[in-house]
Amino acid sequence: MFSSRGLFKDVPCPSKHECTLPNCLFKHEEASVEPKVTSDKSQVHNSTAVRSSESPPPAKRRRLDTPEAIRQNDTYIRQTTIQGKQPPQKVTANVLSHDSQPSSQQAPAYLAHGFSINGSSTIASEKSSTTIRTPASSARANRSDTAAKQPASVTRAVSPPPTSRTQKASSPPPKPYRKPADKRGLNPRQIEQSPVKFETRHAYLKKLHKQIEDANNRHRKDFSTQPELILSKEELETQALDDEERIANAYPNPDTYKNNLAHRLAFYTPKKMTAAIWKDTITTTWLTNPNLATLTFTPQKPIDKAATGLSTEAQEVTVLKHLRTGLHQHAKHGYIIKAPDEKAISAVRALQKSNGHNETCDRCGTRFQVFPGRSDPSGQGRLTTKGPCRYHWGRIPRYNGATRGNFPCCGSDAGTEGCQLADHHVFKVSDAARLASLLQFKETPHHNDGRIRGPIVFDCEMSYTSRGLELIRLTALSWPTHTTVLDILVRPIGEILDFNTRFSGVNADMYLSAPDYGHEGKPPKYGPGEPLQIVASPAAARDLLFDHLDPDTPLLGHAIDNDLNACRIIHPFVIDTVLLYPHPKGLPIRYKLRDLARVHLDRRIQENSGDGSEGHDSKEDSAATGDLVRKKVGQKWEELKRSGWWWKGEMLMPPGAAKGLKGGSSL
């Protein structure tokens, strides 16, 4: 193609009105024909319109730079210009006003033939839909003049509609998400069994923090374009706390603790901590994806379904039987396996009466008096004496009957004044007869309904009342699916002195606003955001739990003796993670569930508020307990497999069983 440069603009077109070229090089004469309008002003279709033989055909449509279609009131209209002295008019799609309708003398011939959106031609009328078009030559001649008179919103360039690809390209990349930092300061975290004194741990912790800080500063230049690989002040402290706590939990012996901590200090030296190792360390510790493009952080890492090496849940339940501990072992570890008789209960009640209900505070050790059921209109010390209680919520571990170290809650020395203040002194009861004097123990009943009851993992939360430490929340999950079967609040028997929120997770607002269980005939949904329902007593909560238990139902828990005592339950089939993961020094020293979850599941629990002040979540604790048991199930299956056990369907067959013989182990 070539440009005409206007050489033929004064030469008449040989085809005259029969020319159909949109950009003809020759001259065309414009004809003026009056529009034909019906007398009744109604719309006339193109099939009934009569075209004058002298009228030229409508000019072929030509794409303009300005938009031709505008959406207004769900009707498409077209905007154009009319050649002549009158400035271009905007014609609406529904009604042409008298001011905007062109006169018959000024309207070109093609106005007599309307152009509808769906392709059918119509004759313009005063109340009919009309589309106005200009010839190509006219549009070409007046384009610049028309653009100058149109609003900027029409004349500016129009971007194409965004597609999925353009939207993805224009959206900013997601911000990498980091795990939250510990903002409690550089004090060693509380653990069950400290290998050395608090002062020694604190000194090593400061050295470790200094070593990590130096490594962080060395690599600032290496990762100047990747700020996510540089730790903040709080993150440096958290990294040091995590490293020291992991070593202290894994190596309770003082010598091995010091040796492994020395190796960790050497790990951050310039010789070993290269830029590549630093990147890998920060990526795997603080970020979950080394690509650093779409990073997400998952606080909890559930066990893989294939971690046990078993193909079905039924097989897991079958292997679970081999982790069972008998009642005689429970009795050896202090479990209550027999309900106290009435003689022992009567003796305890008589002793309490003669003692005047004097108790020893479980938090500060103060001797005080409690008055269950007492009512005082003044509301000042109506249930207990000796005023408020000042205490340390952290406990110093005991070694051979003596305390050693500092309080983990505030780092203060033993014997210093407490860092917390409560309204009442509180106490707890451990004696079986005294527990039974408040609510008698009950064995798990048999059910004859033919229903198969699978394993249950449960956890209880307690609060302090005028009767001791009582049940206030009960949660039960199915195992191994973790489906919630029961999660309720419980009204204790005594008056509440302290909700014990830091450990129970239950506060006054949650307790007082809880609806009654099954209110308005609606069963609990246990979904996100659903309020916990409350039952009238611990006995009512126990009956609801019994509905999911048979005597041969595996009942799983962590330090489950405390939960069983709170519910006053004697159950023959119990699996306790305290016994599955024993402390090297043996009972009564136990690993905390939080520490077991971090070491064996790489999961952080009981950290709802960062500092733990909002307390435990019994559902979270139950799920962690269930996963700890699943890990032991996988290990037990590996032992059985090495011994020659094999599967016949869902039946676990012993090593000597022939292929054709019946038998095996199944739930």
pLDDT of residue 583: 86
Under 8 Å CB-to-CB from 658, ≥6 apart: which residues? Answer: none
Helix (H) or strand (E) holding 267: helix 254-267
pLDDT of residue 611: 52
What is the DSSP-derived secondary structure letter of residue 36? P
pLDDT of residue 283: 80
Which CATH fold would you assign to the domain 320-334+441-648?
Nucleotidyltransferase; domain 5 (3.30.420)
Token output for 485: 């079967």
Q: Do the Cβ atoms of 431 and 536 come closer than 8 Å?
A: no
Q: Do the Cβ atoms of 198 and 416 come closer than 8 Å?
A: no
Q: Do the Cβ atoms of 108 and 82 come closer than 8 Å?
A: yes
Q: d(Cα 77, Cα 522) in Å, to the nearest integer?
A: 57
Q: Do the Cβ atoms of 113 and 46 come closer than 8 Å?
A: yes
Under 8 Å CB-to-CB from 267, ≥6 apart: which residues? Answer: 273
Torsion (CA) 512, 516, 520, 524 in degrees, nearest 10: 110
- Of 256, 263, 258, 216, nearest to 237 by C-alpha is 216
pLDDT tens, 522-543? 778 887 778 899 999 999 999 9
Token output for 66: 């300005």
pLDDT of residue 3: 57
Q: Do the Cβ atoms of 458 and 474 come closer than 8 Å?
A: yes
pLDDT of residue 547: 95
pLDDT of residue 310: 87
Helix (H, G, I), strand (E, B) or coil at 76: strand
The neighbouring-strand residues paired with 413 are 406
pLDDT of residue 247: 87
Taking each helix axis as running N to C, give the angle between helix 538-546 and helix 560-567, from 0 to 180 degrees, rounded to the nearest 10.
110
Helix (H, G, I), strand (E, B) or coil at 246: helix
φ/ψ (deg, to 5) at 47: -65, -25
pLDDT of residue 42: 41
Q: Do the Cβ atoms of 633 and 316 come closer than 8 Å?
A: yes
- Of 599, 600, 665, 595, nearest to 635 by C-alpha is 600
Token output for 646: 């094999």
Interior angle at CA 397, CA 392 and CA 402, nearest 5? 105
What is the DSSP-derived secondary structure letter of residue 587? T
pLDDT of residue 53: 42
Token output for 327: 């009642």
List C-alpha distances in Å: 430 to 328, 384, 394, 454, 666: 19, 20, 20, 30, 37
Euclidean distance between the first and the last CA atom of the chain, given in angstroms as a whole number: 87
Segments of the chain with pLDDT less than 70: 1-5, 29-178, 287-306, 326-332, 375-381, 397-405, 608-615, 658-667
Q: Where are the alpha helices (DSSP H) in 151-232?
A: 152-155, 164-170, 198-218
What is the DSSP-derived secondary structure letter of residue 546? H
Query: Domain boundaries in the chain?
Result: 1-157, 171-298, 320-334+441-648
Q: Residue type for 654, please?
A: P
The owner of tokens 């004697």 is 570
- Of 164, 166, 161, nearest to 71 by C-alpha is 161
pLDDT of residue 67: 44
pLDDT of residue 397: 66
Q: d(Cα 264, Cα 545) in Å, to the nearest integer?
A: 47
Q: Would the pTM of this model clear 0.75, i.e. be above it?
A: no
